[in-house]
Structure 1
């Protein structure tokens, strides 16, 4: 549910879904998934505030 809210938040006025290349949408989704995983106890690691203050989700993508 948190991810759905993040996606809806990232959508601009008059849009149903956000632009798929909008990095803001990626960050919002990444943060909401991470927070939901930590809150539910399924996260493999706890993330600190630095992660959630980051404006760039790409910093945390493992390739």
Structure 2
């Protein structure tokens, strides 16, 4: 499976990331789920609805386990 698809699936299944937050993340990162996963905590927290807890959760996602 393509990496961007795996990244999208991982994000969509992540606890505390609902539809609105996922849409905000995708809008902020030009619809690139891999860019979201590669972003640093400060960059993620620029997105409305993303705080330290969600940023930390995203940073810990492991695409190998999806």
Same fold by TM (over 0.5)?
no
Identify, as 1 or 2, the structure richer in helix: 2
Q: Which has the higher contact order (CA 8 A, sep 6+)?
A: 2
User: Please, what TM-score do these two structures have when normalized by structure 1?
Assistant: 0.36
Length-normalised TM-score, structure 2: 0.34
Q: Which has the larger radius of gyration?
A: 1
